[in-house]
Amino acid sequence: MCIVLITTAHPKYALIAIDNRDEFILRPTSRPHWWIHEPSGQEILSARDLYRRERGTWLGISKSGRFAVLTNYRESSEDDPDHAIAGVRSRGTMVTAWLGAPAEASLDDFVNSMLEGRAAKGVGGFSLLCGDLKEKTEEGIKPLAIISNRWDHVGEVPWIGKERGQTYGLSNAVYAVPETWEKITIGKKLMEEAIRDAAEKDLSEEELIGRLFAVLDHDTLPTEPKMSFQENMDALRRSVFIRSFAEDQGWKDMADAADEGRRRGAFEEVQGHTLHEDYEDPHGFFMKGAYGTQRQTVILLDWEGNITYTERALWDAHGNPIERGKGDETFRFKIEG
């Protein structure tokens, strides 16, 4: 039950994006790293999903300034082939499709190809927020598109981010204004307060990032005793941060995974250089154990095209919790051109 919040309200930054990835904790996932998209040759910074053969991702940015973040749908119907919960292809390929598109392809071209062709078919329900951060207007960045395989034609695609002073939120449902999920309402309010406070106090970049991680840590998940796994899942739309939860067997699976990993490094088997096709999940089928916020990401884009990309891992590859800040990795670069 992920959440992404986007704002154009900070005077020093053209765009700020923050994201919580909520997933089964044991889902094998690399740390963020630079990699080359084939055959386009685009250099991409992202973590990657090691469970699916496509090695997709939920969030990434290219050296040329293309940006994309994906959320899926928590759908309940399994008998609707056109709106499947999961598909033959990984949803993570939607992100890399934009990040790795040919250099001459515009965002308009990409939106059209996704909705008019079959690029968005054969995957589960998704929203893909994407854009080109290198492109600017007099007011700021050019608008970002929110593509979904629930839209029937390009005229339904929402475009956001053009106006200054705005904050937007997206989670695991179709993008809507006004928002219908409590976690989006809460997240937008907290984001606006954090940006206003940071601007008034002229916080440093490090202090601003700390405030943004505090937004991502905001926890209003119900704590009622003996809630079933499904009851917990149904409550996820009420909290920005998802505290890990599981039933009894799930916690046993977590303990077993930790025992199996004691002789290995925290992320030894999920680094970029091990992304070969025969990689296997070290703990078996990942949809077991606990579920919760697994990764958090903060991205800052200043007016000179400088990117600061910080990902925080909250769990290692074996289901061991990581102290806040100890699992941070930060990348800084300037958008080419």
User: Cα(222)–Cα(239) distance, rounded to whole angstroms?
Assistant: 9
Q: Which residue has the tokens 């070290």?
A: 282
For position 122, what pLDDT does the model report? 66
Residue 226, domain extent: 3-334
- Using the predicted structure, report yes or no on whether residue 185 has a pLDDT greater than 70: yes
Type of residue found at 220: T
Mean pLDDT across the chain, nearest whole number? 87
pLDDT band at 140 (very low <50, low <70, confident <90, very high): confident
For position 83, what pLDDT does the model report? 47
Higher pLDDT, 128 or 277: 128
Mean pLDDT confidence for 293-302: 98
pLDDT band at 127 (very low <50, low <70, confident <90, very high): very high
Worst-scoring range by mean pLDDT, 5-14, 258-267, 305-314? 258-267
Task: Encode pLDDT of 11-29 as tens digits.
Answer: 999 999 999 999 999 999 9
- Using the predicted structure, report yes or no on whether residue 125 has a pLDDT greater than 50: yes
Core vs surface per residue 68-78: b (16+ CB within 10 A) or e: bbbbbbbeeee
Worst-scoring range by mean pLDDT, 67-76, 97-106, 118-127, 318-327? 118-127
- Using the predicted structure, report yes or no on whether residue 153 has a pLDDT greater than 60: yes
Mean pLDDT confidence for 180-204: 96
- Using the predicted structure, report yes or no on whether residue 77 has a pLDDT greater than 50: no
For position 244, what pLDDT does the model report? 94
Worst-scoring range by mean pLDDT, 241-250, 275-284, 308-317? 275-284
Q: What is the CATH number of the domain that holds 186?
A: 3.60.60.10
Contact 318, 28 (CB under 8 A): no
- Total-model pTM: 0.91
Type of residue found at 100: G
- Show the tokens assigned to 180: 């219908």
Closest Cα to residue 239, out of 217, 259, 269?
Answer: 217
99, 1, 238, 293: CA torsion to nearest 10: -90
- Show the tokens assigned to 178: 């006004």
pLDDT band at 280 (very low <50, low <70, confident <90, very high): low
- Using the predicted structure, report yes or no on whether residue 59 has a pLDDT greater than 90: yes
Q: Domain count for the chain, please give it.
A: 1
